[in-house]
Chain A
Amino acid sequence: SQKIEQNSEALNIQEGKTATLTCNYTNYSPAYLQWYRQDPGRGPVFLLLIRENEKEKRKERLKVTFDTTLKQSLFHITASQPADSATYLCALDIPSGTYKYIFGTGTRLKVLA
């Protein structure tokens, strides 16, 4: 079955630096991959979606890459700010014909001022 691994449970970086979060999957390549942000006690908020035929997607300070050969997606936040501190989740579709997705456990990012 498909498994998702997100690099580390927690990541601390200095303000202004680029944060890079990793999402690895173990089995089939998904048709698309999503990244969500979750703040404590809140529901996840959609950030970016990248499809299997796309190498890179950008939105303001966010960038997502998708490498089906490495079975990996990287999520970058450039010029990071303390307000970027949150847990970031990746999610993959399951090609079962229904509405199924699987989520990773997330990486908790802390941007230090």
Chain B
Amino acid sequence: ETGVTQTPRHLVMGMTNKKSLKCEQHLGHNAMYWYKQSAKKPLELMFVYSLEERVENNSVPSRFSPECPNSSHLFLHLHTLQPEDSALYLCASSQDKDEYTQYFGPGTRLTVL
């Protein structure tokens, strides 16, 4: 295990639902990330938080809303998603801005019907 956990591991939701993805890191890291991974596409960085402050929002639609209440927890709130949002959503953490290595969670497989 990498020290980064994600729940749920699988999620099926309708386009009108509201759901949240949760990520928790047990590594004492200061930076956390959300990525989207679609089939045959590279990992897409969505959001970056450093010391609970959002430092990067990579042109992500507003139907994705991140929240970082403390340096160990990261959420991704989902509402009115589209079928093309179906993907593997990965959370990662790193020590700080000078530590480039990222530790990934197992991901949440999201299916939007």
Residues of A within 8 A of B (CB): 4, 9, 32, 34, 36, 41-46, 49, 89, 91, 93, 98-106
Contact = CB atoms under 8 A, between A and B. Distances in A.
B97 A99 contact: yes
A75 B56 CA distance: 30
9 contacts: A41-B109, A43-B4, A43-B105, A43-B106, A49-B101, A99-B31, A102-B42, A103-B43, A105-B42
Interface residues of B, number: 28
Contacts, number: 61
Contact of B40 (A49, A102, A105): A105
Most buried by A among B42, B45, B109: B42
B91 to A, nearest CB: 8
Contacts of B91: 43
A43 B106 CA distance: 4
B107 interface: yes
Contact of A98 (B42, B55, B92, B107): B55
A46 B42 contact: no
Given A34-B100, A99-B94, A41 B45 contact: no
Contacts of B101: 34, 46, 49
Given A34-B100, A43-B92, A99 B40 contact: no
**Secondary structure of the B contact surface, majority rule:** strand
A27 B79 CA distance: 37
A41 B2 CA distance: 15
A32 to B, nearest CB: 6
B55 A43 contact: no
B105 A98 contact: no
B48 interface: yes
A104 B48 CA distance: 19
Contacts of B4: 43
A32 B104 contact: no
Interface string B4-37: 1000000000000000000000000001010000
When A and B form their complex, which 8 residue pairs have the shortest distance between CB atoms, in order from nearest?
Answer: A43-B104, A103-B43, A103-B42, A99-B48, A105-B42, A46-B101, A44-B104, A43-B90
